[in-house]
Amino acid sequence: MISYKDLGLVNTKEMFEGAVKGGYAIPAYNFNNMEQLQAIVQACVETKSPVILQVSKGARNYANATLLRNMARGAVEYAKELGHEIPIALHLDHGSDFEICKACIDNGFSSVMIDGSHHSYDDNVALTKKVVEYAHKFDVTVEGELGVLAGIEDDVVAEKSTYTKPEEVEDFVSKTGVDSLAISIGTSHGANKFKPEQCTKNEDGILIPPPLRFDILEEIEKRLPGFPIVLHGASSVPVEYVNTINEYGGSLKDSVGIPEQQLRKAAGLAVCKINIDSDGRLAMTAAVRKVFADEPGEFDPRKYLGPARDQLKEMYMRKNRDVLGSADRG
Ligand code: G3H
Ligand code: 13P
Ligand code: ZN
């Protein structure tokens, strides 16, 4: 058993207490490699923001779970070395069953998500409760999910979203004992969150998506006052990255994300954790494609991964300051 406490990590309890009181959201940034982790730590230290390092099942398969854990331990040391100690949590993203949650809890994670949203309500309750009972023995926090996001969640693909039913949330939270709850109010995973026909176009031809269902969020907040709510699928899909990718040989079509002012509004309400992965992928890919196009003779990975890391860091700093409001809260 490796406790996250021995790695210098923290669970999400105090982070969320601060976020609820302060009207901001904690960034949950996914990472799979060193450059992404460097960008996250540098950005969060420079903006003095708490941060949740998020690891998916795909990331564990890609990078190796032991390496990822030790990278998170390294992130704690690196943040100190950069001159500011920030709270850092290591969180399993979209845990699909009890076994993967247990493996993470036993191996240094401070927080896990059990995503039972694709099961029946009763099965979701039973599975989530089982994970909570195990996790809480070790002071590990647990995120559950109610409602289904359209798009891809690791290897689970949902054709259509199902909004969270506010009338279920109190029962779910009290029966399971979860520490936070992911909900579905119109966000989805990936860089194509809406079909073009669901959007309107502004004068520059940019697709404007339908607004998030703030009425559902507000109803949930009424029923669970002060309880931390999580928003998945919260990338904004910045048009400048999409344009750069397409200008330098990429082919992203009809990409559309969640407008940043809507995320800011959600962070001021009950949303305490905002998950961002796709925007980081876009920022890195845009930078790498530009280097490859501008300097076709370049073959030193540091010369394209370095600029990708720097662009990623800049994006995270801006998100912390202007979107999530987590800057100066760490
Ligand atoms: O919600 C899913 C995250 O973006 C992780 O994606 O499963 O491709 O690592 P992944
Ligand atoms: P995006 O695909 O919008 O970045 O969402 C990431 C996410 O929810 C990870 O769990
Ligand atoms: Zn997600």
How far is the C-alpha of 212 from the C-alpha of 326, rounded, in Å? 21
Within-domain flag for 330: no
How far is the C-alpha of 172 from the C-alpha of 148, rounded, in Å? 15
Among candidate residues 316, 323, 267, the one with its CA nearest the CA of residue 47: 316
For 65-74, write each residue's pLDDT tens digit: 999 999 999 9
- Domain total in the chain: 1
* pLDDT greater than 50 at residue 17: yes
For 126, phi and psi rounded to 5 degrees? Answer: -65, -45
* Beta carbons within 8 Å of 85's beta carbon, 6+ residues apart: 79
Within-domain flag for 55: yes
Structure tokens at 107: 């191996």
pTM: 0.97
Within-domain flag for 35: yes
Within-domain flag for 329: no
Quote the ligand 3 centre to 328 CA distance (angstroms).
25
CB of 58 shorter than 6 A to ligand 1? yes
Within-domain flag for 242: yes
How far is the C-alpha of 206 from the C-alpha of 193, rounded, in Å? 14
What's the length of the chain? 330
Structure tokens at 4: 């996250």
Quote the ligand 2 centre to 257 CA distance (angstroms).
11
213 by Cβ neighbours in 10 Å (0-12 / 13-18 / 19+) ranks as middle
CB of 277 shorter than 6 A to ligand 1? yes
Is 294 one of the annotated active-site residues of the chain? Answer: no
Specify the CATH number for the domain of residue 316: 3.20.20.70
For 183-237, write each residue's pLDDT tens digit: 999 999 999 999 999 999 999 888 899 999 999 999 999 999 999 999 999 999 9
Query: Which whole-number Å values give the CA distances from 114 to 134, 144, 230, in the listed order?
Result: 12, 5, 13
CB of 281 shorter than 6 A to ligand 1? no
* pLDDT greater than 50 at residue 154: no
Within-domain flag for 309: yes
* pLDDT greater than 60 at residue 155: no
Q: What DSSP state is assigned to residue 115?
A: -
* pLDDT greater than 80 at residue 252: yes
CA atoms within 13 A on the CB side of 55: 32
Predicted confidence at residue 264, as pLDDT, reads 98
Which residues surround ligand 2 with Cβ inside 6 Å? 30, 93-94, 189-190, 232-235, 275-279
CB of 59 shorter than 6 A to ligand 1? yes
Range of the domain at 17: 4-324
Structure tokens at 22: 């302060």
Predicted confidence at residue 158, as pLDDT, reads 58
Quote the ligand 2 centre to 295 CA distance (angstroms).
32
Within-domain flag for 265: yes
Residues 324, 312: contact at Cβ < 8 Å? no
6 by Cβ neighbours in 10 Å (0-12 / 13-18 / 19+) ranks as exposed
Residue nearest to atom 1 of ligand 2 (CA): 233
